[in-house]
Structure 1
Amino acid sequence: MHHIKTIEGQFQAQGLRFALVAARFNDFIVDRLVGGAVDYLTRNGATRENMTLVRVPGAFEMPLAAKKLAASGNYDGVICLGAVIRGATPHFDFVSGEAAKGIAHAMLETGVPIGFGVLTTDTLEQAIERAGSKAGNKGVEAASAVLEMVRVMEQL
């Protein structure tokens, strides 16, 4: 195997600024995602002073806020956190699909890494599991992906 140049991101958040966009809908779940993301970032060197939490109504509204935050130049990364639960959300598939599409579009248009920490589950129980410790925390996953991408993008 020939050696190829490899670019990868170090999980160091010192000096980086993050915006967290959190849905108010299903907030008792979303608050756990926010907690997971903040905890992850601080454990990796970020400071709370360099984090801004923005509350939006739900997942559908996230892309607009994420795009504006990313385009502002004030943040190295944006993390979107929400929970779309089939039983609780009219037009479940539409809402989750549009949120994902809109967030991806905002990331590509601004060039700023944006994490998709939006749970899409059939039941409340599944959402609780994926916003805790046992089955992992989607907020932690999204924060980790953003941090890695910020450090990768610096090198490209």
Structure 2
Amino acid sequence: MKLEGRPRAEPTDRFVIVAARFNELVGEALVDGARRALEEAGAAEPIVVWVPGALEIAGAARRLVTAGTPIAGIIAVGAVIRGETDHYEVVATQASAQLARLAAEATVPVANALLTVDSLEQAFDRAGAKHGNKGYEAALVAVRMADVYRRIDALKEDDGSC
């Protein structure tokens, strides 16, 4: 399976962006980046689902998958910023683990742009400033993986090559 060039979506591909409201300014920038990438890739207008915080992202994403919602993939976005307590460790670890588990089990791709950073400055750097926009990058991953999933599914119907 050889994939080259910029990821392209099917015009009917509808993706869902699941975004955490906590640290909302960062979340909005990540959503904007993801929307831009999906538009550039030729996907249909995405659905945006806002949840209270990072720990709720995987639950909403899992519900979208298990409810049989006709989607091409999910882009998870949000920011967990280190504070003065151990709460950061719990949220960052659990939210990331839940998303990784869902990505491995889901029937559609789940791309992760959940930032785990030490400061608001680092979060903004990764939401469009110094280090690009991780929401944009995750959306491209979702588009690429949706194509990979389609090609894998075609193996069942084909001669074994894609």
Please report the TM-score for the alignment, with normalisation by the length of structure 1: 0.88
The correspondence for 1:74, drawn from 70, 73, 78, is 70
Does the CA contact (< 8 Å) of 1:7 and 1:152 recur in 2? no
Within 2, Cα distance between the matches of 1:28 and 1:152?
Answer: 32
2:55 to 44, 47, 60: 60
Once residues 125 and 133 of structure 1 are traced to their aligned partners in structure 2, the CA distance between those partners, rounded to angstroms, is: 9
Q: CA offset at residue 140 of structure 1?
A: 0.7
Question: Which segment is superposed worse, 133-142 or 103-112?
Answer: 103-112
Cα deviation for residue 97 of structure 1 reads 1.2
Match of 2:24 in 1: 27
Contact 2:79–2:114, Cα closer than 8 Å, also in 1: yes
Task: Find the counterpart in structure 2 of residue 8 from structure 1.
Answer: 3
Residue 140 of structure 2: which of 121, 129, 144 is its match?
144
Partner residue of 1:102? 98
Identity of aligned residues (%): 41
- For these two proteins, the number of residue pairs brought into alignment is 149
1:89 is displaced (CA, Å) by 7.3
Which residue identity is paired with 1:77? G
- How big is the alpha-carbon RMSD for the aligned residues of Structure 1 and Structure 2? 1.7
Structure 1: which 4+ aligned runs deviate by more than 3 Å? Answer: none
Cα displacement (A) at 1:8:
2.6
Gaps of 5+ in 1: 1-5
Tell me how far 1:33 sits from its aligned partner.
0.1
Which stretches in structure 2 are left out of the alignment for 5+ residues? 153-162
Indicate the larger mover: 8-17 or 71-80.
Answer: 8-17
CA separation in 2, counterparts of 1:54 and 1:87?
Answer: 26
